[in-house]
């Protein structure tokens, strides 16, 4: 054998030995991790779903839980194991473990615990920091600082502004885009709901009123409309994190994404400069005013740190993106559910007529009386939570106590550093809290219901600051729309032979990108006579 041959053989033995040692070490770590959680039943996979590689695949048994695992499985994994906490342990790229939790009492303990016992794993929030640090992708004192700045903007006065802005935007839609049309066809619901929600949050929170016709025109100095820039960024935010800047020009999609990021950054900067050029009203407490006050030295108390430029833009982006996208997608699902259940749609219409018998314009003060509109909105949020899982981390050794399917008390051991996933989809489809959870029943929100088992706006100290904003917008949209139009599913020849259940599955198909969104939802709005 030649020297070269011996060298290659030695190298092969060396590489093989290192690989074997690495594999043995991974196996040992995997076994230790299982022992640390007392072999709690659950998933055992090669790839961790908390890694990018693990999320590139669909769910594949033994390989990875895959993308959208919690949404696709809902409560089934917990029902199969008879306990509302299950484990997921993977061995590569290192031994990694997590718990999925669908027990309302355990989740309540986690979200309401003061201190840093169950912090967010901020490494998983990189996607949300493309423009800067913000209230969602922060923890501890940094989050408290952002929360203190933003909270005053979500006042009762602002809620009235949200209602009035929503009504005006809906009337503009009816009088311009839908004028003189007895029937309006929308090939995908988000083409209606995304601009609608954007216009509302723009007018009520950022002092940026927009009209339906105006938004179709690209302003001078821009290459995309504000709506298109924000929508593209939301869809392609992962590209900004994974692809280096120099490579963003290699394909048409990458170039479009790069342009959208640049355009949105320009829009946000212009929004700031325009507001800074005006003397603010003393009673103006919208989001932008609150954020701008936090970069003005004269408004800061002793010891307070003003927002940096990137923090300012980062918070504006996240509140715009998350605020309008979640509501838009929820409204899309509401429209689909009402179209699939015309009896519920009629029930809503009849209640609106009882509250507004003279056909007058609904006001914010009517909202408590329009309980069915709010119930429909909440039921859509239960069935299609905008975010299906909230990640946490256990900062210390602890235990959870809960009952299994037989009523037996169980103790789950949680070692320090273990990942915790608040499984919202699993919780919202848990029959322990929601009777017949796969059925659309808005009336379940008209009486007493378990508020600890409803997590669409998160809960506890990190509960969504914009909850009332979204609820107000949703009630206003539904009340005005249903009072004037009926909603139905668009008939398409390629689906002529499908059953009701097949149509329902197709229409309600959803996938999670930044938030849970309908795949394709074609609708028809018919004017009431």
Q: What is the rounded CA–CA span in Å between residue 203 and residue 169?
A: 9
Give the β-pairing of 42-47 and 485-489: unpaired
Q: Round to whole Å and give the CA distance between 215 and 101.
A: 43
Query: Which spans in 207-251 are helix H?
Result: 226-242
Q: Is 455 helix (H, G, I), strand (E, B) or coil?
A: coil
Q: What is the 3-state secondary structure (H, E, C) of 374-438?
A: HHHHHHHHHHCCCCCEEEEECCCCEEEEEECCCCCEEEEEECCCCEEEEEHHHHHCCCCCCCCCC
Asked if residues 161 and 201 have their Cβ atoms less than 8 Å apart, the reply is no
Contact 357, 488 (CB under 8 A): no
CA–CA–CA angle 48, 128, 514 (5° rounding): 70
Element (H, E) at 459: none
Q: Are 66 and 58 in contact (CB under 8 A)?
A: yes
Do strands 42-47 and 85-92 pair parallel, antiparallel, or not at all (unpaired)? parallel
Longest dimension (CA), the chain: 100
Chain Cα centroid distance, residue 118: 20
Element spanning 110, H or E: helix 104-111
E-strand stretches of 20-125: 42-47, 85-92, 96-101
Cβ atoms of residues 170 and 483 within 8 Å: no
| Beta carbons within 10 angstroms of residue 61's beta carbon | 10
Q: Would the annotation count 91 as a binding residue?
A: no
Residues annotated in a binding site for heme = 464
Residues annotated in a binding site = 464
């Amino acid at each position: 054998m030649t020297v070269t041959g011996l060298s290659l053989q030695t190298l092969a033995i060396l590489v093989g030995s290192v690989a074997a040692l690495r594999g043995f070490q991974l196996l040992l770590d995997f076994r230790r991790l299982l022992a640390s959680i007392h072999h709690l039943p659950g998933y055992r996979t090669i790839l961790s779903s908390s890694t990018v590689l693990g999320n590139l695949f669909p769910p594949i048994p033994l390989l990875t839980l895959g993308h959208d695992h919690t949404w696709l499985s809902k409560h089934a994994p917990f029902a199969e194991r008879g306990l509302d906490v299950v484990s997921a342990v993977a061995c590569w790229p290192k031994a990694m473990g997590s718990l999925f939790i669908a027990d309302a009492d355990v989740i309540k303990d986690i979200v309401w615990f003061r201190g840093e016992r169950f912090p967010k794993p901020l490494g998983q929030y990189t996607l949300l920091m493309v423009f800067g640090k913000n209230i969602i992708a922060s923890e501890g004192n940094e989050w408290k600082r952002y929360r203190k700045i933003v909270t005053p903007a979500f006042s009762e006065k602002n809620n009235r502004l949200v209602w009035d802005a929503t009504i005006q935007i809906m009337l503009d839609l009816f009088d311009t885009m839908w004028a003189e049309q007895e029937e309006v066809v929308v090939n995908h619901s988000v083409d209606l709901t995304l601009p609608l929600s954007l216009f509302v949050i723009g007018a009520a929170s950022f002092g940026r009123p927009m009209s339906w016709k105006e938004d179709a025109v690209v302003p001078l100095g821009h290459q995309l409309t504000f709506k298109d820039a924000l929508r593209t960024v939301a869809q392609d935010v992962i590209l900004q994190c994974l692809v280096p800047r120099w490579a963003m020009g290699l394909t048409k999609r990458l170039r479009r994404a790069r342009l959208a990021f640049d355009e949105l950054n320009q829009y946000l900067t212009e929004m700031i400069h325009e507001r800074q050029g005006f003397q603010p009203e003393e009673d103006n407490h919208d989001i932008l005013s609150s954020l701008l006050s936090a970069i003005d030295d004269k408004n800061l108390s002793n010891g307070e740190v003003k927002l940096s430029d990137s923090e300012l833009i980062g918070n504006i982006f996240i509140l715009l993106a998350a605020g309008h996208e979640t509501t838009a997608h929820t409204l899309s699902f509401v429209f689909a559910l009402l179209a699939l259940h015309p009896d519920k749609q009629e029930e809503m219409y009849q209640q609106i007529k009882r509250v507004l018998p003279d056909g007058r314009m609904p006001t914010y003060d009517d909202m408590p009386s329009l309980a069915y509109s709010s119930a429909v909105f909440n039921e859509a949020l239960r069935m299609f939570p905008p975010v299906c899982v909230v990640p946490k981390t256990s900062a210390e050794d602890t235990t959870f106590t809960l009952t299994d399917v037989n009523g037996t008390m169980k103790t789950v051991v949680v070692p320090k550093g273990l990942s915790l996933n608040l499984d919202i989809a699993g919780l919202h489809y848990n029959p322990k809290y929601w009777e017949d959870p796969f059925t659309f029943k808005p009336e379940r929100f008209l009486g007493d219901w378990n508020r600890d088992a409803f997590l669409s706006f998160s809960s506890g100290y990190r509960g969504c600051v914009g909850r009332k904003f979204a609820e107000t917008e949703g009630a206003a949209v539904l009340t005005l729309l249903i009072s004037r139009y009926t909603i139905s599913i668009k008939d398409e020849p390629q689906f002529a032979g499908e059953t009701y259940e097949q149509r329902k599955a197709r229409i309600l198909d959803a996938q999670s990108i930044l938030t849970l969104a309908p795949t394709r939802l074609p609708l028809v709005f018919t004017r009431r006579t």
